[in-house]
Amino acid sequence: MTQSPASPLPAPKERRRLRESRSLTQTDVATRLGVSRATVRSWETGRSAPRGRMREAYTRLLLTDPASARAEMNTRQEDVAPELVGAGTGAAPAREIARTAVRGERPVAEGKRSASTGERPGRNRPGRRPAEERLDAAEDSGLAESSLTPAQAFDALYAFCAPALVRQAYLLTGRRELARESVERAFQQAWYRWPEVAVDPDPAGWVRATVYEYALSPWHRLRPRYRHPEAPPTAPADRALLDALLELPPVYRRTLVLFDGVGLGLPETAAETEASTPAAANRVLHAREAVATRLPELTSPEDLHRRLTELASAERLRAAKPRTVRWYGERRAQQWTRAAIAFTALLIGVTALTLGTAPDHYEAPLAPPETIHGLPPRAAPGPLSSAELKLRARLRSREMHGPERLIPENR
């Protein structure tokens, strides 16, 4: 059987020109191909290049007619199920919202682009400053002109990612309460470290990794409320799929959910699971094989993705409100701060007490005892003589009335 030769991939600069000539942003291309925006940016700068089917899809997207490409992209976006993909490949808008809010920059409006090329004037000018490049990135995201406050940016990120993350955490743990708790704890930590999360290249990926780490922590089995299993799904097919997932090792389960559930690319899945790309591919293959062994109808990856989406959306899990998460996060941070201050004060008090009661001069230790020789032995009273015995008997026989009265004699 013969294979058709791979489609020629344009040069990096030509890739960007073709994308902009079709009025597509990097976010649109990332959503269409199921990758992150950072991956598309690396393709256009020449740092990396797609391979295999991703290369063919990327080339076909760049070289097709603009109208048909836009229509195909819109159809693809309508077909994608939002239950699991919300915090996966489509996190670029939330990322740009967070980064714009924390920097306080004002994104450029769409009307200020060039009418012919869709670019801002002076965009390709050499020697551009980093601030201008960041403005271009905010411009590609299509944000509004007004910048957001950190709380508004956090609420936007939470509203975009939390519903999908709760469903993903449920696939990882099989527990509804633990899934909600994992998402809330992750976003509380994100709010506590918001300046760092907001400037991260992928805030949604940062939160997703934190959710997965908390959900798959082995210490939950020691908590009393998690020692007993929760009620399984009502549908027998959903219950069988969830049992098959929970029988996988945690790292295999996480890789399978990211690749077949969320729809991340293999390099992104490997990076998030801290593994090499071949290792991530082997984990996906072994996980698929284990699931297909128990459920032969899920041999196809498309069927597995569809069933994972149905299982995640069947439970109707809901996340808490963003204000509640922020309030609990601030309260938890205050409690930890007060505990640290109290511990520090206690340590200072103990140190001061130790310094006050400690000796301030040197005291020589006591010498060990020594035996003294040459002294006469201690004399003990010996036996009484006969005269002494008589005297003692006479004294004991007399009554003790005190001394006798002395009467002077007359002479």
Tell me, yes or no, whether 299 and 198 share the same domain: yes
Q: pLDDT at position 247, please?
A: 92
Quick one: average pLDDT of 315-342? 83
Q: Is the pLDDT of residue 114 over 50?
A: no
Average of per-residue pLDDT across 150-160: 87
Helix axes 203-215, 176-192, angle to 10 degrees: 130
Alpha helix positions (H), 37-143:
37-45, 52-63, 66-79, 82-85, 92-103, 130-140
Do 298 and 163 lie in a common domain? Answer: yes
Asked whether residue 295 falls in the same domain as residue 165, the answer is yes
Most confident range (mean pLDDT) of 66-70, 78-82, 152-156, 247-251 is 247-251
Whether 87 is in a domain gets the answer: no
User: Same structural domain for residues 67 and 187?
Assistant: no
How many angstroms separate the CA atoms of 183 and 209, rounded? 10
Nearest to residue 61, comparing CAs of 25, 114, 110? 25
Residue 338: pLDDT over 70:
yes
Q: Cα–Cα distance between 77 and 62 in angstroms, integer?
A: 17
Let me know whether 70 and 155 are in one domain: no
In-domain check, residue 354: no
Query: Are 28 and 166 within one domain?
Result: no
Q: What's the one-letter identity of residue 72?
A: E
- What pLDDT is recorded for position 212? 92
Looking at the 3D structure of the chain, how many domains does it have? 2
CATH of the domain at 252: 1.20.140.160
**Are residues 279 and 169 part of one domain?**
yes
pLDDT score recorded for residue 51: 80
Question: What pLDDT does 248 receive?
Answer: 93
Over residues 194-210, the mean pLDDT reads 88
163 and 309 together in one domain: yes
Structure tokens at 267: 């390099």
**Residue 274: is it exposed, middle or buried by C-beta count within 10 angstroms (0-12/13-18/19+)?**
exposed
Answer whether residue 165 shows pLDDT above 50.
Answer: yes
Within 8 A by CB and 6+ apart from 77, the residues are 31, 32
Share of the chain above pLDDT 70, in %: 75
Q: Which residues contact 42 (CB under 8 A, 6 or more apart)?
A: 48
97 vs 173, more confident: 173
Residues 58 and 158 in one domain: no
Are the C-beta atoms of 87 and 208 separated by less than 8 Å?
Answer: yes
Q: Is residue 117 part of a domain?
A: no
Q: Are residues 64 and 154 in the same domain?
A: no
- Among 19-28, 94-103, 144-153, 380-389, the range scoring the smallest mean pLDDT is 94-103
Euclidean distance between CA atoms 2 and 9, whole angstroms: 21
Residue 155 has pLDDT above 90, yes or no: no
CATH number at residue 25: 1.10.260
Of the candidates 169, 211, 166, 172, the residue with the CA atom closest to the CA atom of residue 190: 211
With 0-12 / 13-18 / 19 or more C-beta atoms within 10 angstroms meaning exposed / middle / buried, residue 26 is buried
162 with 183: CB under 8 angstroms? yes
Residue 327 in any domain: the answer is no
Q: Is 52 inside a domain boundary?
A: yes
Please say which residue of 314, 329, 353 terminates a domain.
Answer: 314
Residue 174 has pLDDT above 70, yes or no: yes
Which of 79, 96, 114 is where one domain is finished? 79
For residue 128, is it within any domain? no
Q: What pLDDT digit, counting tens, does each position of 343-363 carry?
A: 999 999 999 999 988 888 888
Helices (H), 123-193: 130-140, 150-173, 176-192
pLDDT at 101 over 70: no
Q: Residues 265-296: pLDDT tens digits?
A: 888 888 888 889 889 999 999 999 999 999 99
Q: What is the pLDDT of residue 352?
A: 92
With 50 as the cut, is the pLDDT of residue 125 above it?
no
Confidence at residue 103, expressed as pLDDT on a 0 to 100 scale: 44
Q: Provide the residue range defining the domain that includes 294.
A: 150-314
Contact 27, 140 (CB under 8 A): yes
- Measured distance CA(31)–CA(253) in Å, rounded: 24
Give a three-class secondary structure readout of 103-114: HCCCCCCHHHCC
Say how far apart CA 176 and CA 242 lie, in whole Å. 13
Checking if the pLDDT of 227 tops 50, the result is yes
Helices 203-215, 150-173: inter-axial angle, 10-degree rounding = 40
Q: Which of 62, 79, 96 finishes a domain?
A: 79
> Quick check: is 2 in a domain?
no
Q: Are residues 24 and 170 in the same domain?
A: no
Is residue 367 scored above 70 in pLDDT?
A: yes
Residue 372 lies in a domain: no
Which range (3-12, 174-183, 337-346) has the least confidence? 3-12
pLDDT for residue 118: 39
**Mean per-residue pLDDT for 241-261?**
91
Look at residue 148 in the predicted model and tell me its pLDDT. Answer: 78
Angle value at C-alpha 285, between 279 and 288, nearest 5 degrees: 140
265 contact partners, CB below 8 Å, separation of at least 6: 34, 35, 36, 39, 54
- Torsional sign, CA 9, 14, 20, 23: negative
Does residue 66 have a pLDDT over 90? no
Average pLDDT of the residues of the chain? 77
Residues 73 and 154 in one domain: no
How is residue 218 written in tokens?
A: 């082995």
| Residue with more model confidence, 231 or 93 | 231
